[in-house]
Chains A and B, each alone.
Chain A
Amino acid sequence: MSDDATRTLGKGSTPPGPVPEGVIRLYSMRFCPYAHRTRLVLRAKGIRHEVININLRNKPEWYFTKHPFGQIPVLENSKCQLIYESVIACEYLDDAYPGRKLYPYDPYERARQKMLLELFYKILGYQNTVFFGGDCISMIDYLFWPWFERLEVYGIADCVNHTPTLRLWIAAMKQDPTVCSLLTDKNTFLGFLNLYFQNNPGAFDYGLSC
């Protein structure tokens, strides 16, 4: 059971108290990919943390004192310092906490990682039509889709705010007859992965009868 499996706080909720020493708090939402980044880094570095999930459709009034527009993720430490923007929060955690460094030490390698991230945003930013190539599905959409189908298995669909155009694209793709006809259902895919990571040669035939 994930440590963030708690009900969200919404309008009218009591503001949380100060963050205890030795712990860092993350304001989050279970299905938000941006907050997910921060949860990954917290977990990867073994950082003691607590998670408060925010109801993004019904934000608590007190939450605007943590972030001017009520966005997530936000980190709050025991010194009442607030850090927001997912990438900034992740870098802060890597800098502030000991143990395994997630960013490389070499300045050029660090720069390369940051340049790759810019490319990722460019992909999202290149979308000014429903599909990446225009108003109809085309090559580029098919070339991207397999990775997004797999991400879909893990359920990012419910994030509000951040990537509405991407959500629309995923929905539109699923309506395409070609994509539809080749969709792998979640359980089959998970069954495959399970066997695959056990190095079970039967993995590749998972889900086939006889």
Chain B
Amino acid sequence: MSGGTVRSLGKGSAPPGPVPEGLIRVYSMRFCPFAKRTLLVLRAKGIRHEVININLKNKPEWFFKKNPSGLVPVLETSLGQLICESAITCEYLDEAYPGKKLLPGDPYEKACQKMVFESFSKVPSLMVGFLGKQNKEDCSGLKEELHKEFSKLEEVLTDKKTTFFGGNSLSMIDYLIWPWFERLEALELNECVDHTPTLKLWMAAMKKDPTVSSLLTDVKTFQGFFNLYLQNSPEACDYGL
């Protein structure tokens, strides 16, 4: 159920059957930060779900019927409805399911979360650039760019004077950006938050959240995955199982 132990499905695998009623299915991959967003929201809202992990280095043919782009995450409902794009899946779950709302009800506060999300948008592609960088010299330009992006986020937090990006309790925007901060240590980028103390405090507070901590991946496992992923190994997605 946690998605932490299910072996991925690859080429030649049988397509899964329909999603049972009362459940929602997420096509995921244990180390994908985008899919992590969806898993965090599913967990935070206590939504009954099943996880099918996809071998992204050896995709099953049937998966392109779920998402023509072949990317995770994808949500599938028992009505056969498919929702793609991580941020859209998260918003869908918040709207479709009862319980604690992760997005604020106030239109302006909701818009603010979306504006913060926009200002985070350069981080994922920047961080991909660090994967497999053995030579530290290559990194300095990238590190500077990452510093710049983190400073923007630092400014948001210091202006708001709250612990989290949406206020004093955790909300949607925090979950949406967390997966990239979770990876900082494994990519040896902890120093990138040295000059952004409020952001550093936010990271510590996030790690204490029960949802976040229940889905934390440890540094060694990340590094094992990165290593195999960079070699294009079809075993990468199942590293550690």
Q: Which residues of B contact A84 (CB under 8 A)?
A: 115
How many chain B residues touch A (Cβ–Cβ < 8 Å)? 18
**Which DSSP category, helix, strand, loop or mixed, fits chain B's interface?**
helix
Interface stretch, picked from B104-112, B201-209, B211-219, is B104-112
In this assembly, does A158 line the interface, its C-beta being within 8 Å of a C-beta of chain B? no
**Which DSSP category, helix, strand, loop or mixed, fits chain A's interface?**
helix
Contact yes or no, B114 A107, CB < 8 A: no
In this assembly, does A108 line the interface, its C-beta being within 8 Å of a C-beta of chain B? yes
Contact yes or no, A111 B83, CB < 8 A: yes
Q: What sequence of 0s and 1s flags, for each residue 73-86 of chain B, a beta carbon within 8 Å of any chain A beta carbon? A: 00001000101110
Interface stretch, picked from B3-11, B42-50, B90-98, B164-172, is B90-98
In this assembly, does B131 line the interface, its C-beta being within 8 Å of a C-beta of chain A? no
Q: How far is the CA of A118 from the CA of B111 in the complex (A)?
A: 18
Q: Which residues of B contact A83 (CB under 8 A)?
A: 108, 111, 115
Q: How far is the CA of A88 from the CA of B65 in the complex (A)?
A: 30
Contact yes or no, B108 A92, CB < 8 A: yes
Q: Which residues of B contact A118 (CB under 8 A)?
A: 85, 88
Q: Shortest beta-carbon distance, B83 to chain A, in Å?
A: 5
In this assembly, does B118 line the interface, its C-beta being within 8 Å of a C-beta of chain A? yes
Contact yes or no, B118 A111, CB < 8 A: no
Q: How far is the CA of A67 from the CA of B97 in the complex (A)?
A: 35
Q: A55-78: which residues lie under 8 A (CB-CB) from chain B?
A: 77
Contact yes or no, B118 A95, CB < 8 A: no
Q: How far is the CA of A84 from the CA of B111 in the complex (A)?
A: 9
Q: Which residues of B contact A81 (CB under 8 A)?
A: 108
Q: How far is the CA of A111 from the CA of B92 in the complex (A)?
A: 6
Q: Which residues of A contact B115 (CB under 8 A)?
A: 83-85, 88
Q: B114-168: which residues lie under 8 A (CB-CB) from chain A?
A: 114-115, 118
Chain A, Cβ-Cβ closest to B87:
A114
Q: Which residues of B contact A79 (CB under 8 A)?
A: 108
In this assembly, does A91 line the interface, its C-beta being within 8 Å of a C-beta of chain B? yes
Interface residues, chain A, with chain B CB atoms under 8 Å away:
77, 79, 81, 83-85, 88-89, 91-92, 95-96, 107-108, 110-111, 114-115, 118
Chain B, Cβ-Cβ closest to A88:
B114
Contact yes or no, A115 B83, CB < 8 A: yes
Q: Apart from A95-B111, A110-B95, A111-B83, what 15 extra A-B contacts exist at CB < 8 Å?
A: A88-B114, A88-B118, A91-B114, A95-B107, A108-B81, A108-B83, A108-B96, A110-B91, A110-B92, A111-B91, A115-B83, A115-B85, A115-B88, A118-B85, A118-B88
Q: Which residues of B contact A89 (CB under 8 A)?
A: 111
Cross-chain pairs A/B with CB under 8 angstroms, 20 sampled: A79-B108, A83-B108, A83-B115, A85-B118, A88-B115, A88-B118, A91-B111, A95-B111, A107-B95, A107-B96, A108-B77, A108-B92, A110-B92, A110-B95, A111-B91, A114-B88, A114-B91, A115-B84, A115-B88, A118-B88
Q: Which residues of A contact B111 (CB under 8 A)?
A: 83, 88-89, 91-92, 95
Q: Which residues of B contact A108 (CB under 8 A)?
A: 77, 81, 83, 92, 96
Q: Nearest 4 pairs between A and B by C-beta? A: A95-B107, A107-B95, A96-B107, A107-B96
Q: How far is the CA of A110 from the CA of B88 in the complex (A)?
A: 9
Q: How far is the CA of A96 from the CA of B108 in the complex (A)?
A: 8
